[in-house]
């Protein structure tokens, strides 16, 4: 797996001209494993959406280097998916082959075998024919990880993948995250679990709309930084002025 880097250059993202991410610069190094941490509303999800191309920057740039947008696997929060939809676990997981099959392509026996492997890797082997609506929250997250596994991308973005699932499932899926890291993929994960971040993620980006810290986890997740992050978002401006900071 050739390692890929993502560089943010004075990036401002937002909705309706209100910035959700303000003048962010830095980079996710090739093959790095980074946690994005910050209070609710800090712009973590917004940042992932922009990297994957679902949101246009208000200012600044995202540089993907040699990789294409389609080579970024993105796992959004569960809330975005209609789980009552009548589709089987296998069919949903096999959508991970999209980059190879597109709109018309056929699923080859090799792809079918890869899907079975991915389901085995997440512990859902006997669930192939079940509709996705019959899965528990944890099982559904396992299925989404299987799909992400099949996408086989150099960059993987995960938005709060361990929220609302039990410890055992989280441990299994963290194992996959480490496997991706070992394969030199660039992995970025949004998390609220500081303990987990300290234990498993070498790099951390702490944001609260502005960048509070970005670097080795131990240096970023200091009490002082965390307090600063919490305080940042409490300031809500009723009538904000136009931001005067110009692009560098």
Partner 1 sequence: MSMLYDLLAAPFVDFAFMRRALVACAALAVGCGPVGVLLLLRRMSLVGDSMSHAVLPGAAIGFVISGLSLVSMSIGGFVAGLLVALASGVVTRVTQLREDASFAAFYLISIALGVLIVSTRGSNVDLMHVLFGTILAVDNHSLLLVSAIATVSIAVLAVIYRPLIVECFDPAFLRSVGGHGASYHILFLVLVVLNLVAGFQALGTLMAVGLMMLPAAAARFWSAEVWSLAAASAAIALVSGYVGLLVSFHFDLPSGPAIVLTAGVIYLVSMAVGSQGSLRKNLIAQPHYES
Question: Which CB atom, from 156 or from 197, has the smaller least distance to partner 1?
Answer: 156
Question: Which CB atom, from 155 or from 208, has the smaller least distance to partner 1?
Answer: 155
Torsion angles phi and psi, residue 24, rounded to 5? -100, 130
Residues in CB range of 33: below 8 A, 6 or more apart: 177, 178, 181, 187, 189, 200, 201, 202, 203
CB of 7 to partner 1, least distance (A): 20
Q: What residues line the site for partner 1 (CB under 8 A)?
A: 52-54, 69-70, 72-74, 76, 80-82, 85-88, 92, 95, 98-99, 103-104, 131, 151
Residue 118 host element (H or E): helix 109-121
Question: Which CB atom, from 70 or from 164, has the smaller least distance to partner 1?
Answer: 70
- Report the DSSP beta bridge partners of residue 188: 34, 157
Helix/strand number for the chain, H first, E second: 9, 9
Pair type for strands 155-159 and 186-190: parallel
CB of 101 to partner 1, least distance (A): 8
Question: Which CB atom, from 155 or from 229, has the smaller least distance to partner 1?
Answer: 155
Distance CA 133, CA 83 (A): 5
CB of 91 to partner 1, least distance (A): 8
CB of 57 to partner 1, least distance (A): 16
- At which residue do the structure tokens 């996408």 appear? 151
Distance CA 86, CA 207 (A): 38
Question: Which CB atom, from 108 or from 227, has the smaller least distance to partner 1?
Answer: 108
CB of 218 to partner 1, least distance (A): 32
């Amino acid at each position: 797996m050739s390692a890929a880097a993502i560089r943010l250059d004075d990036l401002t993202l937002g909705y309706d001209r209100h910035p959700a991410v303000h003048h962010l610069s830095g980079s996710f190094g090739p093959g790095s494993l980074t946690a994005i941490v910050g209070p609710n509303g800090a712009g973590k999800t917004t940042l992932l959406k922009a990297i994957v191309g679902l949101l246009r920057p208000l200012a600044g740039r995202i540089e993907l280097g040699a990789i294409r947008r389609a080579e970024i696997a993105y796992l959004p929060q569960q809330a975005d998916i209609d789980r009552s939809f009548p589709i089987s676990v296998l069919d949903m997981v096999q959508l991970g082959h999209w980059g190879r099959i597109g709109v018309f392509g056929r699923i080859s026996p090799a792809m079918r075998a890869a899907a079975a492997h991915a389901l085995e890797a997440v512990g859902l082997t006997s669930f192939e024919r079940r509709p996705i609506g019959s899965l528990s929250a944890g099982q559904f997250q396992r299925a989404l990880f299987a799909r992400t596994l099949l996408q086989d991308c150099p960059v993987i973005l995960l938005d709060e993948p361990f929220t609302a699932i039990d410890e055992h499932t989280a441990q299994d899926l963290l194992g996959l995250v480490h496997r991706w890291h070992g394969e030199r993929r660039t992995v970025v994960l949004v998390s609220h679990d500081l303990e987990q971040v300290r234990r498993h993620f070498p790099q951390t980006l702490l944001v609260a709309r502005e960048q509070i810290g970005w670097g080795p986890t131990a240096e970023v997740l200091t009490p002082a930084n965390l307090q600063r992050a919490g305080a940042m978002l409490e300031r809500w401006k009723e009538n904000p002025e136009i931001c005067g900071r110009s692009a560098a």
